[in-house]
Amino acid sequence: MNFPLRALHSGDQAIINGLVQAGTEKRKAEDQLFITYRYFIREGMQKYNLEEEDVFDAYSDTVLAAIDMIVAGSFEGRSSLKTWMFRIFQNKCVDLIRKKTTNKNSIHKTAPFSELLHKLSDASKTIVQQLVEKADADLLKQKLGELGEKCRELLMLSADGCTDKILAVQLAYKSADVVKTTRLRCLEKLRQLYKNLLPNE
């Protein structure tokens, strides 16, 4: 993946290069990104007068958002990684302060489906949103935990940005098509578990 990055610090560039890899390389780069700007936590505590635990959550969310955006190619390198991340972090802290009085847990979650839903027309969006609201998220979470380890791993790696092609190599599948078929079967299996159509594994 090519990033039109300008004058990035070599350490930042190494992190970005690692994030677009798979497996251990990606994990190392994620940890490195977290460690590199970990001092934001202290700054956030001082600047916003927040508890370490809260600022840690805001910072973790910042790192996760940054990873997603970097992997998706949204980070254009117009500013340094530090500046860019600090902006995200500040927003997370402000959100945290705003939402602290209402629902503390909700701040850790991204707006559900926002990225995917915008592809639908308004009419379809409304139908889907209503169906989603009726669904039992906790049950789905529980069933995901009951899904076999292999399926769970495949779905999670896919959701983490790994392409079927990468997963085929990483998980020793014959081809990307096999990965795709397996992944979608896992999704079907999850749905059957959710609808209580399958016995628990």
Residues that bind other proteins (CB under 8 A): 27, 30-31, 34-35, 38, 41, 56-57, 60, 63-64, 67, 108-110, 112-113, 116-117, 119-121, 123-124, 127-128, 131-132, 135, 137, 140-141, 144, 155-156, 158-160, 180-181, 184, 187-188, 190-191, 194
Residue 129 CB, nearest approach to other proteins (Å): 8
Residue 84 CB, nearest approach to other proteins (Å): 19
The per-residue b/e assignment along 2-16, b for 16 or more CB within 10 angstroms, e otherwise, is: ebeeeebeeebeebb
Residue 78 CB, nearest approach to other proteins (Å): 25
For other proteins, the closer CB: 11 or 78: 11
Q: Which residue in 82, 50, 42 sits closest to 66, CA to CA?
A: 82
Give the whole-angstrom CA distance, residue 58 versus residue 195: 35
Helix spans in the chain (H): 10-19, 23-36, 39-48, 52-71, 81-100, 114-117, 122-134, 137-146, 149-159, 164-170, 176-194
Residue 6 CB, nearest approach to other proteins (Å): 28
For other proteins, the closer CB: 46 or 124: 124
For other proteins, the closer CB: 123 or 172: 123
For other proteins, the closer CB: 6 or 191: 191
Residue 56 CB, nearest approach to other proteins (Å): 6
Give the whole-angstrom CA distance, residue 98 versus residue 105: 12
Q: Which residue in 57, 77, 84, 89 sits closest to 5, CA to CA?
A: 77
